[in-house]
């Protein structure tokens, strides 16, 4: 009897426990847009809870009785409800959250890989909305990046606060990410701006400062995260037509065309729709540019699709596939003929003609567990195929994979950890050769909020890198006691970061951060062997990785003027680099008699570890949007000052190949200022942009010497040494609910200016845009 009685009691106890169960389920949505909210916190009795899945749904298993349930999300006002459940009850509790409109409502994810208010992040950050990209008729993200305070673009390379100079298209200290995964080519490690689908842009986030602890190599100077959009509750279709022409140059100098001004034009298409559990986004772009410089044309055709399927029977599970492909054909302009009538003509009368194909395929799986954890497995295949008429073709493949786990705990602690593996292949004939690389890493980041005012972020990452047979080599110091330490060589490169943000007043945020960064040499920097417009570029197989750190203190003050809300931000920064890599002019090839050309003298450029450098400075910026009376107003403005120097500067040797005797790094602007303001009244809007760069004091002296064979740079720089300011203007008319017409004029005053040496920038352009949204 005893043996029979025991299991019966056990079974009855289990049945009793099962019977004492109830459920709460529902959906969380936005009160204004009616869109569901992903990742909202649903907290039960201040002790446990979950997060909403990709459909905005949640499910809680509870015991019968009285309970308190809270709904919380960054950028929204919290909601709390008291409720009572009986045995076997299933209560549907939907929550409609209202925006917390006391401050500018901007939510970002890049700073910590989870959603945060812009005011709460621990680093300097700027945000670009798609409305600005469209209103300025930006056919590539490169042109809109020029409006970001502290960011300069030199021949397609993004530099943040003077972190880079001019690298001849190889290597980037700013990591470009698309949907939180790196999008740098496997060979040159550079950014292909025309590849980014501007027709499908949710938001662009720019992090300033070393971010390698969370994002890995190449995030030495900062991160640009391009976020694509997903379908909303209501279907949306958008078609944008644009066309225009280049004006004549100042005093008609350099006009090379015979049959009318060069033109440009294109069309963007975007459609997003939910089909039951499937989210579908389709985009396309066609663009043709006849070019303001002779023979520098571009034709591109781009198509992309985002697919995401949200499982109905398996709550929280979603799978998807994002794809983007482009074909580009055109001519590559490098050096002018001269600074006068030949400023817009290529040296030698011809240039490199290219055809490139780029494709990325991104499969992913995301799962939100019932306990509130998020599991993410992402992959990316990115192929770049370069074809040209100089027999320097290449195929570069990137195979990227990342697993990430993230969980937000009830005590406002967010844990983010992940594993990354990246494999690259480069196949090229005479340009690079054939090379293979492997990159593996693991990272952990903790974000905690104390006393409802202090946010603390701590992160660490370990990175392994190998190209062909060359592996990571890093000295790790082991402290045995106070008087003795041992340096041990490791194949793992460790980096750390820490950040603090304290809400001192209702709309005042004080922050401080420190982050380490590193960058491994790219295949192009180590192995390239080529000649372009009479300039030889040599390989350097002994190039070492560069590393560094950046520190910052800043204050962000919320500003409210009527219904206009914004942030005023002031920051001071300090950045140092060790073994900084830059292309440097010198003698790297053999002497060939007669010694009458740079090539026969063995002169050219090579990527070198130029030594240790330091960049200090400060930045002031303001951004905001809203209404001033009846006028809707948006603004993005900023001023940046930098002091970029070599810490081991020796005047006699370090200025021998420079154009100044000062200790200042090459190809930097010490002063930059940016501004964009748009005003709207009823159906009419008007916007103006301006960009100021001070004079670039230091470049390679070779460009100014007769031996270079490049005419006019020295005289041009002597006559244009006051810096450059360029204004753009635009006006828009909302014709009806569907149609908006815009007229855009860039470089309104037709200012003549040069970017890098022998690279004249566009004259005044006129463009007409027609946007249809339905």
Is the pLDDT at 551 greater than 90? The verdict is yes
For residue 15, what pLDDT band results from cuts at 50, 70 and 90? very low
For residue 212, what pLDDT band results from cuts at 50, 70 and 90? confident
Is residue 212 within 8 Å of residue 514, measured between CB atoms? no
d(CA 584, CA 566): 43
Sign, CA torsion 712/717/719/725: positive
d(CA 415, CA 407): 5
Is the pLDDT at 705 greater than 70? The verdict is yes
Is the pLDDT at 370 greater than 50? The verdict is yes
pLDDT, residue 299, reads: 97
pLDDT, residue 6, reads: 47
pLDDT, residue 11, reads: 45
Phi-psi region of 267 (alpha: psi -120 to 50; beta: other; left: phi over 0): beta
467 half-sphere exposure, CB direction, 13 A CA radius: 20
Is the pLDDT at 327 greater than 60? The verdict is yes
**Nearest Cα to Cα of residue 507 among 446, 545, 464, 561:** 561
- Which of 474-478, 497-501, 562-566, 641-645 is the least confident region? 474-478
In sequence order, what are the beta bridge partners of 581?
A: 609
- Determine which helix (DSSP H) or strand (DSSP E) holds 9, and give its type and residue range: helix 2-19
Is the pLDDT at 207 greater than 50? The verdict is yes
pLDDT, residue 619, reads: 97
Angle at the Cα of 385 from the Cα atoms of 381 and 389, rounded to 5 degrees: 175
Which position has the higher pLDDT, 109 or 612?
612
Is the pLDDT at 5 greater than 60? The verdict is no
Is residue 558 within 8 Å of residue 119, measured between CB atoms? yes
334-344: average pLDDT: 88
pLDDT, residue 24, reads: 87
d(CA 684, CA 686): 7
d(CA 182, CA 217): 10
Q: What is the pLDDT of residues 281-326, one digit of tens each?
A: 999 999 999 999 999 999 999 999 999 999 988 988 999 999 999 9
Q: Which among 113-127, 484-498, 663-677 has the top mean pLDDT?
A: 663-677
Is the pLDDT at 12 greater than 50? The verdict is no
Q: What is the DSSP-derived secondary structure letter of residue 142?
A: H
Q: What is the DSSP-derived secondary structure letter of residue 661?
A: S
DSSP string, 60-75: EEE-SEEEEEEEE-TT
581-587 and 535-538 beta bridge pairing: unpaired
Q: What is the pLDDT of residues 156-196, one digit of tens each?
A: 889 999 988 887 666 788 999 999 899 999 998 888 899 99
pLDDT, residue 361, reads: 98
Q: What is the DSSP-derived secondary structure letter of residue 6?
A: H
Is the pLDDT at 220 greater than 90? The verdict is no
pLDDT, residue 709, reads: 79
- Tokens 């720019």 belong to residue: 206
Mean pLDDT taken over the chain: 88
d(CA 517, CA 210): 5
559 half-sphere exposure, CB direction, 13 A CA radius: 17
- Determine which helix (DSSP H) or strand (DSSP E) holds 255, and give its type and residue range: none
**Nearest Cα to Cα of residue 762 among 262, 242, 260, 159:** 262
Name the token pair of 251. 């005093």
For residue 475, what pLDDT band results from cuts at 50, 70 and 90? low
Model pTM score? 0.88
Is the pLDDT at 480 greater than 70? The verdict is no
Q: What is the pLDDT of residues 97-107, one digit of tens each?
A: 887 655 556 76
pLDDT, residue 105, reads: 62
128-141: average pLDDT: 91
Q: What is the pLDDT of residues 728-748, one digit of tens each?
A: 999 999 999 999 999 999 999
- Which of 9-18, 57-66, 379-388, 715-724 is the least confident region? 9-18
Is the pLDDT at 621 greater than 50? The verdict is yes
Is the pLDDT at 148 greater than 80? The verdict is yes
Cis peptide leading into residue 488 (ω within 30°) = no
Which position has the higher pLDDT, 104 or 129?
129
pLDDT, residue 45, reads: 83
Is the pLDDT at 693 greater than 70? The verdict is yes
The radius of gyration of the chain from alpha carbons, rounded to an integer in Å, stands at: 28
d(CA 218, CA 211): 9
Q: How many Cβ atoms are within 10 Å of 301's Cβ, its own excluded?
A: 14
d(CA 379, CA 628): 46
Is the pLDDT at 113 greater than 80? The verdict is no
Q: How many Cβ atoms are within 10 Å of 317's Cβ, its own excluded?
A: 18
Grouping H, G, I as helix, E, B as strand and the rest as coil, residue 125 is strand
d(CA 625, CA 676): 12
């Amino acid at each position: 009897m005893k043996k029979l009685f025991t299991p019966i009691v056990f079974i009855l106890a289990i049945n009793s426990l099962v019977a004492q169960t109830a459920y709460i389920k529902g959906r969380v949505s936005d009160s204004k847009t009616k869109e569901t909210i992903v990742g909202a916190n649903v907290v039960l009795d201040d002790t446990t809870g979950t997060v909403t899945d990709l459909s905005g749904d949640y499910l809680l298993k509870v015991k019968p009785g009285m309970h308190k349930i809270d709904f919380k999300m960054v950028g929204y006002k919290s909601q709390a409800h008291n409720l009572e459940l009986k045995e076997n009850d299933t209560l549907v509790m939907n929550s409609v959250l209202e925006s917390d409109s006391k401050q500018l409502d901007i939510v970002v994810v890049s700073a910590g890989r989870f959603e945060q208010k812009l005011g709460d992040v621990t680093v300097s950050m700027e945000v670009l909305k798609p409305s600005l990209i469209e209103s300025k008729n930006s056919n590539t993200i490169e042109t809109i990046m020029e409006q970001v305070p502290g960011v300069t673009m030199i021949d397609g390379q993004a530099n943040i606060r003077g972190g880079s100079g001019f690298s001849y298209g190889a290597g980037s200290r700013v990591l470009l990410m698309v949907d939180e995964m790196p999008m740098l080519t496997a060979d040159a490690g550079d950014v292909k701006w025309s590849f980014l689908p501007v027709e499908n842009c949710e938001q662009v986030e720019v992090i300033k400062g070393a971010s390698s602890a969370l994002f890995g190599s190449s995030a030495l100077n900062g991160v640009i995260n391009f976020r694509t959009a997903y379908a909303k509750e209501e279907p949306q279709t958008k078609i944008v037509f644009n066309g225009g022409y280049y004006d004549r140059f100042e005093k008609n100098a350099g006009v090379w065309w015979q049959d009318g001004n060069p033109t440009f034009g294109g069309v963007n298409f975007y459609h997003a729709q939910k089909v039951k559990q499937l989210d579908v986004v389709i985009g396309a772009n066609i663009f043709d540019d006849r070019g303001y410089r002779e023979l520098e044309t571009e034709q591109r055709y781009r198509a992309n699709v985002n697919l995401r399927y949200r499982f109905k029977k398996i709550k929280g599970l979603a799978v998807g596939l994002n794809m983007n492909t482009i074909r580009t054909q055109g001519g590559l302009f490098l050096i002018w003929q001269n600074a006068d009538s030949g400023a817009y003509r290529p040296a030698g009368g011809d240039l490199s003609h290219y055809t490139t194909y780029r494709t990325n395929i991104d499969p992913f799986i995301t799962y939100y567990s019932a306990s509130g954890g998020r599991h993410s497995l992402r992959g990316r295949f990115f192929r770049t195929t370069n074809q040209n008429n100089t027999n320097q073709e290449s195929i570069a493949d990137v195979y990227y994979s990342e697993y990430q786990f993230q969980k937000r705990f009830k005590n406002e602690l967010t844990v983010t950890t992940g594993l990354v593996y990246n494999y690259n292949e480069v196949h090229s004939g005479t340009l690079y050769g054939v090379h293979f690389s492997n990159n593996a890493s693991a990272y952990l980041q903790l974000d905690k909020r104390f006393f409802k005012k202090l946010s603390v972020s701590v992160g660490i990452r370990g990175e392994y890198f190998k190209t062909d047979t060359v592996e990571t080599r890093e000295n790790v110091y082991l402290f045995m006691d106070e008087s003795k330490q041992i340096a041990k060589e490791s194949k793992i490169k460790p980096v750390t970061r820490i950040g603090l943000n304290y809400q001192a007043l209702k709309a005042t945020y004080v922050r401080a951060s420190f982050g380490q960064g590193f960058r491994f040499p790219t295949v192009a920097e180590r192995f390239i062997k080529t000649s372009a417009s009479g300039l030889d570029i040599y390989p350097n197989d002994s190039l070492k990785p560069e590393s560094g750190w950046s520190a910052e203190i800043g204050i962000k003050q919320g500003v409210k003027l009527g219904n206009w809300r914004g942030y005023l931000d002031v920051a001071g920064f300090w950045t140092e680099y060790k073994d900084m890599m830059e292309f440097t002019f010198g003698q790297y090839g053999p002497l060939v008699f007669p010694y009458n050309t740079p090539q026969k003298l063995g002169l050219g450029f090579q990527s070198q570890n130029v030594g240790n450098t330091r960049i200090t400075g400060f930045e002031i910026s303001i951004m905001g949007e809203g209404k001033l009376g009846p006028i809707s107003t948006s603004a993005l403005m900023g001023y940046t000052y930098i002091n970029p120097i070599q810490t081991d500067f020796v005047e006699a040797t370090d200025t021998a190949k420079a154009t100044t005797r000062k200790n200042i790094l090459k190809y930097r602007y010490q002063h930059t200022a940016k501004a964009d303001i748009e005003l709207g009244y009823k159906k009419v809007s008007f916007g103006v942009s301006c960009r100021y760069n001070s004079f670039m004091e230091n470049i390679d002296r070779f460009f100014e010497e007769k031996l270079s064979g490049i005419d006019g740079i020295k005289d041009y720089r002597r006559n244009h040494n006051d810096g450059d300011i360029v204004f753009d203007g635009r006006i828009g008319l909302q014709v009806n609910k569907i149609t908006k017409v815009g007229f855009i004029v860039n470089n309104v005053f037709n200012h003549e200016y040069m970017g890098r040496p022998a690279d004249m920038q566009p004259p005044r352009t006129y463009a007409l845009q027609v946007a249809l949204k339905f």
